[in-house]
Structures are given as C-alpha cells and as structure tokens.
Amino acid sequence: MNCVHRAFPRAMAPIQSLGQWGLALAVSTVALPAHAQTLTAASTFVQCFADGNNSFHSTECTQGGFPGVPPSAFSSATLSPFPSVSVEVTSPPASVLGAGADANATYWFQVNGGNVGDVVPLLFEFNLGATSTPDSTALARIIIRTSEVPFTVEELNCNPQSCDVATLSDTLSVPARSGAMLDSVTLYVMVQAPATRISHESARAIADPYIFVDPAFPNAQLYSIVVSPGVGNVRVPEPAILWILSIALSSFGFVRCRKLFSFD
C-alpha cells in the first residue's frame, strides 16, 4: 500500500487592467499605513457516524462505542491555543454499517504593518497526520487562501489503494498583501472505517498550522499577523508536535502504515 501526499499547484491571481482613475487610486492606496482590522469570526463544525447513529456539533462529538453500537467515532475542532482538527474511528467485526467522522475549521488572518498592498511572504508551518487500516480511509488537508494566491492545498490521503506516509511536517511559503481582509486558512480531516465482518478497521487524521512572516524578508519586523478573534497563532511546542504525531501514528499492530518525518 502506498500513501498519497498531494501538493496542489498554486494558482496565481488574475491580473486585472486598471483605468487611469483606478491606477491613481491604487497608487494612492499603497501610501496608506496598514492597520489591524477586526476579522470575521472563525467557524468550526464536526460530525460523527456509527452504525446509522449520527452526531453533529460545532467543536466536538462522539458516537457509538457501547453495547448495541460497537463501532465508535470521535471528532474535534479547536482554535486555541492553536487551531487543530482531529478525528478517529474504529469498526470491529461486529459492526453493521461501520463508522465515519469529519471535522473542519476556517479562520481568517491579516498581514498588519507597512503600507496597504505591500506583498509580504508568509510561512505556514503545519503538521498533517493520516493513518488507516487496509480497508479504511483517512484524509488530512490544509487549504490556504490569500489575495495573492487564491488556492494552496497540502494533503495526506490514506485509502484502501494507497497508505504508507503517516505524517507530514512542512513549511509552505505563500505571499499575501498587507491590509487584505479575506485571507483564510481551512483545516479539514475525514476518516471512514467500513464494516467488513472479518477485520477490525480504524483510521485517524489530524491537521494544524502556524502563520508567521518570513524572517528573511527585508523589514520583516515591520509586519505581524492578526487572526480571527478567539484563534491562537503560536508555534506548536515540540512536546505537542510529538503528541500530535503520536496520535496519527499510534495505532494497532495490524495497521500497515510506515511513517515519514520531514521537518524543515
């Protein structure tokens, strides 16, 4: 079995032509200082499924795992001290329909400082984890949108055809404009463990990011990152990284996944 790690190409924002008045407005805008704005509140949503029983919530849910519903599903989405989404499911041979879970979190960020319209290179440190047994599926994905690059995606995907990369720790470089209001990060994880009647199935997935200005950028100290209210934007400490990766990797003796660590 192989594990798929997809790095989607970054689409460049379309270049729009400006008329004389539009150009004058753009030039005048660049000279304005960029100040932090109140960003849109973050949103989270989770759901769990086990043998026909469903649970929905904004941040956490559990389902099954008791007599009569042997499979179990857990889903969680948190925003502080750092954004993170995680899911886990199990489906023993006694399952009827199996189990599934997913979680997502979306929050907004803004480059603050310098002049409005300054293009600033941002770095996104992130951890993704995805493990699954041979007949199960696990997906962990991070989606970044900025005024400069509207669609950047990194993901780990474990499915019955391919799954041997269990974790990915990496750093993405994505440019953004100072003062932009619609830049966002979306975290999404999904797992499914079917009822096979002959094997014990399970799957886990996690995702989390940290945003900061590239320190190699000239005058990088002039800029800072503001995120949606209630969202933490701090580097995940080393013990937490190990804990997160252990969640993705810790599993059962029959999980056919080999681990890959790629720290930058």
In this structure, is residue 59 part of a structural domain?
yes
For residue 37, pLDDT over 90 is answered with: no
Q: Where are the alpha helices (DSSP H) in the chain?
A: 20-30, 238-249
Instruction: Say if residues 51 and 64 touch (Cβ distance below 8 Å).
Output: yes
Instruction: Tell me whether residue 32 is in a domain.
Output: no
Question: Is the pLDDT assigned to residue 153 strictly greater than 70?
Answer: yes
Q: pLDDT tens, 176-187? A: 999 998 999 999
**Is residue 16 situated within a structural domain?**
no
Under a CB-based contact definition with an 8 Å cutoff, are residues 200 and 90 in contact? yes
Torsion of CA 247, 138, 79, 108, to 10 degrees: 140
**91 part of a folded domain:** yes
- The answer to whether residue 128 sits within a structural domain is yes
% pLDDT > 70, the chain? 73
Q: Is residue 30 part of a domain?
A: no
Rounded to an integer, the average pLDDT of 238-259 is 44
26 domain-assigned: no
The backbone region for 113, taken as left when phi is positive above 0, alpha when psi lies in -120 to 50, beta otherwise, is: left
State the Cα torsion 162-241-90-3 to the nearest 10°. 0
State which residues form the domain around 139: 4-11+37-249
Total domains present in the chain:
1
**Residue 257 included in any domain:** no
| pLDDT at res. 33 | 59
Q: Which of 87-101, 113-127, 157-171 is predicted least confidently?
A: 157-171
